[in-house]
Amino acid sequence: MKKNEKTLTKSIATLSPLFLDILNSGSRVKLTITGNSMYPLLRTSIDSVIIKKKSTISKYDIILYKRENGEYILHRVVGIKEDGAMVLAGDFETVTEYPVYPKQVIATVESIFRKGKHISCNNPLYKIYSFLWVLFMPNRFIIVKILKGLRSALSGQRWKSL
């Protein structure tokens, strides 16, 4: 963080009027992730995303939307039906949420800050990850467990269960 830069931590519900105005003006907003539903791509309180308004939503986009109960959620589009209703799931989930309608969408993720590195959602490697992660959705927990085991083995640490 730069010397004169300050960080303000507030809930998204508290800040929504402010960031909605910013998004509606055509600007972007950076949000730090909370929650584990987008793991392993996004880690809670560590990684952040840049969101922006987008006129069309596509399969594999990560969107910020508001549920009927008022919760703000960041999940990936895993399907779009003919009527425009979307099927969504977090990257750490094997159960989908449907229907989510375009009117509920606040913004889409344009880029990610992970481990201090900026990753554009237009990056070809990111697009391959998104495609594969949606394809392997039923087996995500197994894949994450294998990856954690490999990471532990390579780093000399003990295997940690989910």
User: Distance between CA atoms of 75 and 92, rounded to whole angstroms?
Assistant: 10
Residue type, 111: S
pLDDT in tens, the chain (162 residues): 455 555 556 666 666 778 788 898 999 999 999 999 998 899 999 999 999 998 899 999 999 999 999 999 999 999 999 999 999 999 988 889 999 999 999 999 999 999 889 999 999 999 999 999 899 887 777 877 787 777 777 776 554 544
User: Distance between CA atoms of 25 and 159, rounded to whole angstroms?
Assistant: 48
Structurally, at CATH architecture level, domain 12-155 sits in Ribbon (2.10)
Count of beta carbons in the 10 Å neighbourhood of residue 137: 17
Per domain, the residue ranges of the chain are: 12-155
Task: Please state the pTM of the whole predicted model.
Answer: 0.80
Q: Which two tokens stand for residue 162?
A: 């989910």
Q: Which two tokens stand for residue 1?
A: 């963080």
In sequence order, the β-bridge partners of residue 132 are none
User: Distance between CA atoms of 141 and 90, rounded to whole angstroms?
Assistant: 12
